[in-house]
Amino acid sequence: MAKELEKAKATMEKAEKEYRKACDLNKLWQKFREAYCAYLKKAK
């Protein structure tokens, strides 16, 4: 039983790290998009 709990906990921690990484990437992508849109408006 304890082994199963340890396994589940490790899996949850891994998933949380992946989720945080994805959120950070999403924020970066939004910043990039905003900057790119601003650049396009200036270029016109």
- pTM here is 0.63
Q: Does residue 11 form part of some domain?
A: no
Residue with tokens 């945080």: 20
* Rounded-to-integer distance, Cα 23 and Cα 3, Å: 30
Greatest Cα pair distance, the chain, in angstroms, is 65
Number of structural domains in the chain: 1
* Rounded-to-integer distance, Cα 21 and Cα 8, Å: 20
Q: Does residue 37 form part of some domain?
A: yes
Tell me the residue range of the domain where 36 lies: 19-44
* Rounded-to-integer distance, Cα 43 and Cα 37, Å: 10
Tokens of 7: 């396994």
Number of residues written out for the chain: 44
What does the pLDDT read at residue 1?
78
pLDDT tens, position by position, 6-36: 999 999 999 999 999 999 999 999 999 999 9
Is the model's pLDDT at 40 over the cut of 90? Answer: yes
